[in-house]
Structures are given as structure tokens and as C-alpha cells.
Structure 1
Amino acid sequence: MDVSMKEEDLCQAFSDVLLNNIEDIDADDWENPQLCSDYVKDIYLYLRQLELQQSVRPHYLNGKEINGRMRAILVDWLVQVHSRFQLLQETLYMCVAIMDRFLQIHPVSRKKLQLAGVTALLLASKYEEIFSPDIADFVYITDNAYSSSQIREMEMMILKELNFDLGRPLPLHFLRRASKAGEGVKQHYYTGYTEDNLMLIMQHMAKNVVRVNENLTKYTAIRNKYASSKLMRISTIPQLNSKTVKDLASSLLG
């Protein structure tokens, strides 16, 4: 018992020494109640747990009527609808999260795929927006392909399948935290991820960037969205055409 306690104390002391070199990115936020500096680290630990509990499986569309190409078409369209309605960034991320979680556990036909997508956007809008678009707006945006009652029916189906658990952490939450930490320490201690953890997703992201920039895909809504001055034209920066990005993508592009 004494030996284990000594080992535990030594480990804690060693950890404390290491962290002395890590800038506390929350130290200056104590006066802002919205930033919750007293327990922000606990919040992010909780979000990491939720991320696992409400995870979206890789290749979850395998063997289903809906395939990855159909999903890509739908997401490309949802990005355009999101921009047209001038909704918050969180709303788009949440829409895709709701849609993916629903599609992986509930069979959806091709005819109902757009209905599931637009209903996910309605749900995300109700969750994130101060003023959500009316259900009639969503009927209009589908060119009356679906009725208000069909959207309401799909809304209840999605909520029941997800057990009303809509609090899945979004990439945006972690990106903002990582961006804040990035100015304080190169190693990104605050993210909780290592480079090995991120390598595969980095390769897939690089592959998609290369496919868009070399006109290998017609799904360009996201590039067009982030080419606007409002979003600092981030999709047009020369670094996205760099050798580093192309090298990352090479193993997946063959």
C-alpha cells in the first residue's frame, strides 16, 4: 500500500513538472462566466466520453441501400441550404451528426434520404438557432417533394431512434479549443490526441482537398462556401495545393 502510494505521488509530481511548461490557456478567462474556466477541462473530458457513446461507425453505409456517393450529394446540398438560410456554423455540424447517427441505425430508402437530411437540418436549427426557419421553409427548399406532415413524422422518428440524445459533441467544439491551444503550445496538450491518432483522418481530409482542387469531384459546395470573404477565403489558400497535402493524400488516391 505504501509502495503504490509512493509511486502514485511520484507520477503526480512528474506530471506536475511536465505541465509547468504548458501555458494555461484558461487562466485569463476567470471573469467570463460563459467560458466556464473553473471546469472547462471537465467539460471537454465529458465531451470525449459522449463522442465515444454517440459515435458514428466507419463505413456504416456498407450493405445498405444508401451509399457514400448519395450521402455526399445530400451533404453538398445541405451545405447550400444552410448557406441560403444563413444559419449558424453549429447548425450545419449538428445536422450532419444527427443525419449520420440516424442513417447508421435506421434503414432509409433512396426516396426518403433527402427527407431525412432536411429533417436533420430542421432539428439542428431548433437546437442551435435563436430563430429557426419555419417548417414551411423546409418544404419549399425541397421544391415540395415532401409535405409538412412527412417532415414532422420523420422528425419524431429521428428523435425516437436517437432517444432524444442530441448533445453529441461537434468537431467545431474541439476545433475551437485546439485553435485556442495552438497559440499556446505546439504539442497541443489540450486536444488529448497524438499525431498517430489523427493521421488517418488527416489523410482522408487531404484526399478530399486534392479531389476538389484537381476537379476530380463535382461536389464543391464546401469549397465554394469557404471561398467567401466572410470566411476569409480559407479554401483558396495556396497551402491546400502544397506538396505536404498531396503527399498526405497520395496513399489513398493511389
Structure 2
Amino acid sequence: MALLRRPTGPSPTPEDVSMKEENLCQAFSDALLCKIEDIDNEDWENPQLCSDYVKDIYQYLRQLEVLQSINPHFLDGRDINGRMRAILVDWLVQVHSKFRLLQETLYMCVGIMDRFLQVQPVSRKKLQLVGITALLLASKYEEMFSPNIEDFVYITDNAYTSSQIREMETLILKELKFELGRPLPLHFLRRASKAGENLKQQYYTGYTENEVLEVMQHMAKNVVKVNENLTKFIAIKNKYASSKLLKISMIPQLNSKAVKDLASPLIGRS
């Protein structure tokens, strides 16, 4: 019990105590890393993978995720409801596929749209305008070559003019304070998939299984509703049924008992 002996020398200063605590924290972190594989260890030769900074980058993304979170009930009391949003997202998925845009562009588009709808009341007549403008903004942010604004006018069957889209673009940017760099699901999915195993996933994502259970149940519910023809919103399934995307929406595991059991508490609920 030597650690509990009363020190006989001079009392430590606050600076000494602080440094000791910092060293203990560092030692604890190092001990953890010794037990869990460093998944970035072999990436040092590839500057694009930023192996020296990747852990700090993901910590920052987690902070942004909290700061830019979407309230689950952000449409309550608005002209627009969840079904209208679902119709719009289903259509945007089809537009995204038609324009052959990057996956990041679609995720960013939905994020921009939801963040704007959360802070700015929008009439039903302008909901599609918000959606198509969000896709335009996301394209400018993510794509090497964004579609022209006239392409977005055409895809809405001339429901809106290019001037209206530009006005909405200005309004969205002002409301979001030009902060478009929101963390995307793809960022975290790639990290989790790289970690692979359960223990490593928990360490590198920062989430336990219990913390993601509710989200998993909602995702399973949506999968079951699509596979059992309980919804008309099937653009995502059709998109991922293509050979280019490895027909991932057609794999038998999505019809498994495990998925159905996971969804069962929510089936029948909206």
C-alpha cells in the first residue's frame, strides 16, 4: 500500500499535480491502445488518409454532429409533415441517381434541407424548391462539376425559375450561416467498417450497442416496410438494387428473422 503513504517531503504544487494527472491520463490512453488494434497504423504512407490526424478529425466530427443535430420532432406544428418530407426525399434520391452524383452529395443535400426546415417555416408550395436548392448547394460543395442551375429547373418540370432557386440558395446559406460542413453518415460508416469487430467498433465510434439500438430498430422497421410492400417509398431500394451498387438491397439477410425481430417493437407505429 505504498501509494497511500503520507508524503514526507514538501507538498506538491498545483502545477505538479496537474502534470501528474496529465501523465496518468496519457498512460491510461496508451494502455487502452495496446489492447485495441490501431486501425490507422498502416496508413502512414498515404497522405490522403491523414493517419497522424484522423483520430482528432473524428473527434471534431463528433462535436459538430452534436452542434448541428436535428430535433426528431422538428416538423411538429408546421405546414409540412413527415410524409411530405418522405415524398420529397424519395424524389431527390431519383434525381440524384439521374444526375449521377456522389453519395456524399445526397447525404449532404438531406442534411442541408433538414437543418433549414428546422429553423425556417416553409410553405408546402416551396418544399420542393427547398429540396432542389439543397441538392444544388450540396453539388457545389461535393462535386467536381455541379449540374447547371437550368438542369435543376428542368428536373422540376419548370415549377420554379432559376431566379427562385438563386433566392432560396441565398436564404438557406444565410440561415445556416454558410456552415455546410456537417458530418455525414458515410464518414462514420467508413470508420466503423474499417474497425470491423464489435470491441474495436465501440472504441473507434464511441458508441455502445445499447446507444445505437433505437436507431437500429428504426432502420430495421424501414427495411421490413419496404420488403413487405408496406410503403410506397422505394427509391432507395431500387437504387441499391443495381449491379453497380452490388445489389445490396436484394441480399437475403435483409429479410432475415434477426431484422424482423429488431423491427417488431416499432411495426405498426409511424
TM range (shorter): over 0.9
Matches within 5 A, 1:181-196: 181-182=195-196, 187-196=201-210
- Give structure 1 stretches of 5+ with no counterpart: none
Counterpart-to-counterpart distance in 1, 2:167 and 2:28: 56
Q: Which residue of 1 aligns with 2:260?
A: 246
Counterpart-to-counterpart distance in 2, 1:10 and 1:165: 37
DSSP-derived class of the 2:119 partner: coil
DSSP-derived class of the 1:154 partner: helix
The question of 1:94 aligning with 2:70 is answered no
DSSP-derived class of the 1:20 partner: helix
Post-superposition Cα deviations, 1:170-225, rounded to whole Å, max 9, x if no partner, equal 00111111111116955441111111210111010000000000000000000000
Of 75, 82, 90, which aligns to 2:96? 82
Q: Which residue of 2 aligns with 1:178?
A: 192
The question of 1:50 aligning with 2:64 is answered yes
- Using the size of structure 1 for normalisation, the TM-score is 0.95
Counterpart-to-counterpart distance in 1, 2:221 and 2:105: 25
Q: Which residue of 2 aligns with 1:228?
A: 242
Q: Which residue of 2 aligns with 1:217?
A: 231
Tell me: higher relative CO, structure 1 or 2? Use CA pairs within 8 A at least 6 residues apart. 1
Of 163, 166, 170, which aligns to 1:156? 170
What amino acid is the match of 1:128?
E
Q: Single out whichever of 186-195 and 201-210 deviates more from structure 2.
A: 186-195
8 Å Cα contact 2:105-2:139 kept in structure 1: yes
The question of 1:70 aligning with 2:102 is answered no
Q: Which residue of 1 aligns with 2:5?
A: none
- Using the size of structure 2 for normalisation, the TM-score is 0.89
Counterpart-to-counterpart distance in 2, 1:42 and 1:7: 21
8 Å Cα contact 1:182-1:188 kept in structure 2: no
Matched residue pairs, number? 254
Q: Which residue of 2 aligns with 1:109?
A: 123
RMSD of equivalent CA atoms = 1.7
Counterpart-to-counterpart distance in 1, 2:232 and 2:97: 18
Larger Rg: 1 or 2?
Answer: 2
- Give structure 2 stretches of 5+ with no counterpart: 1-13
Q: Single out whichever of 8-17 and 228-237 deviates more from structure 2.
A: 8-17
Identity %: 80
Q: Which residue of 2 aligns with 1:139?
A: 153
